[in-house]
Chains A and B, each alone.
Chain A
Amino acid sequence: MATLQTRASARLMMTPAVVLLLLWMAVPLSMTLYFSMLRYNLLMPGMEEWAGFLNYRFFLTDPAFLTGLLNTLLLVGGVLLISVGGGIMMALLLDQPFFGQGIVRLMVIAPFFVMPTVSALVWKNMLMHPVNGLFAWIARTFGLQPVDWFGEAPLFSIVMIVSWQWLPFATLILLTALQSLDTEQKEAAEMDGAGAVSRFIHIVLPHMARAITVVVLIETIFLLSVFAEILVTTNGGPGVQTTTVTYLVYVQALLQFDVGGASAGGIVAVVLANIVAIFLVRLIGKNLE
């Protein structure tokens, strides 16, 4: 049992972390909120004036916002589908005993440690380049027309790159969950004559359900903020074809210097992320007991 003295020192030890995080969150966020109500452009200093909800109206009715929102949903949804679907299969594969398993495991998780700007540029140039890229060569070898990835399907190209980065994360976590499955349960089902497919659906999948939820929620949080991959490959284009909400805010803030508009966009992004965050925090909180 903690004594009064320990309790006092415990509070003291927590103070720096709590205060700093509180400042880190409250100060900039309230500034964003305040700016979002102003007409405020860095190119027109001294012209700031109260604008009420005008910035929100402009941001939300900007056709680029709807496209951005749709692109964000497609990006997050596409990457989740590929990385979680692929992750389940990879986890099942890596759970089988085979020669050199440890090395294959290292190869599979490697993309997660590659910095986003490197993976984006390597994929865009060396793999997906329509003339000299490796994919183009493979296509020609099979007598097919090479695909101009970033010209014809820019958003899908980015989905592929980001999926490659996040597949290892899903694999690693789902594999961890899979390995904690009681083998006796599986063996019992096997003896009762359950086939591989029905064992997967009735025993393995329910066991992994929580890990899958965790992967989906955590990936969503990170994917909503995908930025570097877009910046170095397409700059949000062509047009606004690969502009996400995050990227749109960046453009308004640091390219158009529209502080008010960007702040309104930032608040919209915060609201979107919070919808996901609430579920995740609840799930993790339940696990804390």
Chain B
Amino acid sequence: MARAVSTRTRLTFTVIGWLVGFVIFFPILWTVLTSFKSEGAAIATPPQFLFFEWTAENYVEVNSRSDYLKHFMNSVVISLGSTLLGLLIAIPAAWAMAFAPTKRTKDVLLWMLSTKMLPAVGVLVPIYLLFRDAGLLDTRIGLVLVLTMANLPIIVWMLYTYFREIPGDILEAARMDGASLAKEIIYVLTPMAVPGIASTLLLNIILAWNEAFWTLNLTAAKAAPLTAFIASYSSPEGLFWAKLSAASTLAIAPILIMGWFSQRQLVRGLTFGAVK
């Protein structure tokens, strides 16, 4: 039974809700607005909210002057590469744990999870030295490898919680009908697993895109993704607020949109199935 709510209560909550939502969202909105201002208007007091001369010059300048596209592509390659590589390793593992569990499966899962809780700073020194010796510092491939390993536990866990919900009976039936293991995987399991794999892909691209420990410590000019590029605005360039805003808007827009689509999966992925 739905509770009857008076229109007045509903209106009150509408006002409060929108007000709170607006305040929380404001820094993002402000960044987007500032990105369309001239540098002078960006630092003007009193601040100009909507009535300023809208211009796209910051976007043009950010793109032309600072190799923005290169850093953007680095972000794309690193986040997509690490996620795909992670899926490649994790899908068989999660499949095995979900459909052929043994007594030790639970321990393996929890152990994998515990590797995620290892603070990155605890292995910073050896990874840095190993990368230096292997020539992997400031390379995309190096970052792909590190982020693959850093996110692998989350990928395995997310896939596992999805796969576990696929009814095992269907597999039994396929097996009874004489389907081989390969056929079972291709024709029965894959179609049912695609939604779970897709959400895992989405969430991990988001996590890898925003990762800001390894990307800051293991890259310099060449392989720096957007997290590191934006960090370079912390020095004198930080005075150029409009350009900082334009670069920031471009950096967060694609991920924000993906995030909005994946909000349900986020809960599941980041709590390791503890809250559904």
Binding site for B on A (CB under 8 A): 2, 5-7, 9-11, 13-14, 16-18, 20-21, 24-25, 27-29, 31-32, 35, 90, 93-94, 96-101, 103-119, 121-127, 131-132, 134, 136-137, 141, 164, 167-169, 172-173, 176-177, 180, 183, 187, 210-211, 214, 218, 221, 224-225, 227-228, 231-233, 245-246, 249-250, 253-254, 259, 262-263, 265-267, 269-270, 272-274, 276-277, 280-281, 283-285, 287-288
Q: How far is the CA of A103 from the CA of B108 in the complex (A)?
A: 40
Do A288 and B106 touch across chains, with their CB atoms under 8 A apart? yes
Question: Does residue B84 face the partner (Cβ distance < 8 Å to A)?
Answer: no
Q: Which of B112-132 contact A (CB under 8 A)?
A: 112-115, 117-130
A211 cross-chain contacts in B, Cβ below 8 A: 275
- Chain A interface, DSSP helix/strand/loop, else mixed: helix
Partner of B31, one of A107, A126, A253: A126
A11 cross-chain contacts in B, Cβ below 8 A: 96
Say whether, besides A17-B89, A121-B233, A28 and B119 are in contact (CB < 8 Å): no
Do A118 and B248 touch across chains, with their CB atoms under 8 A apart? yes
Do A284 and B113 touch across chains, with their CB atoms under 8 A apart? yes
B78 to chain A, nearest CB (A): 13
Say whether, besides A112-B259, A126-B30, A259-B129, A169 and B100 are in contact (CB < 8 Å): no
A6 cross-chain contacts in B, Cβ below 8 A: 99-100, 181
B245 cross-chain contacts in A, Cβ below 8 A: 122, 126
- Chain B interface, DSSP helix/strand/loop, else mixed: helix
B183 to chain A, nearest CB (A): 14
Binding site for A on B (CB under 8 A): 1, 3, 5, 9-11, 13-14, 16-18, 20-22, 24-25, 27-28, 30-31, 34, 42-47, 89-90, 92-93, 95-97, 99-100, 102, 106, 108-110, 112-115, 117-130, 149, 152-153, 156, 181, 206, 209-210, 212-213, 216-217, 226-228, 230-231, 233-234, 238, 241, 244-245, 248, 251-252, 255-256, 258-260, 263, 266-267, 270-276
Do B92 and A16 touch across chains, with their CB atoms under 8 A apart? yes
A-B contact count (CB 8 A): 315
Partner of B153, one of A21, A35, A121: A21
Partner of A117, one of B124, B231, B256: B231
Partner of A114, one of B28, B113, B216: B28
B202 to chain A, nearest CB (A): 11
A196 to chain B, nearest CB (A): 12
Say whether, besides A18-B93, A173-B271, A231 and B241 are in contact (CB < 8 Å): no
Do B122 and A29 touch across chains, with their CB atoms under 8 A apart? yes
B120 cross-chain contacts in A, Cβ below 8 A: 225
Do A266 and B27 touch across chains, with their CB atoms under 8 A apart? no
In the assembled complex, 19 residue pairs joining A and B whose CB atoms fall closer than 8 Å, in A order, are A7-B102, A14-B93, A106-B260, A113-B210, A116-B227, A117-B227, A117-B228, A134-B47, A167-B24, A168-B24, A172-B267, A173-B270, A173-B275, A214-B271, A225-B213, A228-B213, A246-B121, A262-B125, A277-B114
Pairs A-B, 6 closest by C-beta atoms: A13-B92, A113-B259, A228-B212, A31-B126, A17-B93, A10-B100
Do B5 and A97 touch across chains, with their CB atoms under 8 A apart? yes
Q: How far is the CA of A104 from the CA of B227 in the complex (A)?
A: 27
Partner of A285, one of B16, B110, B124, B255: B110
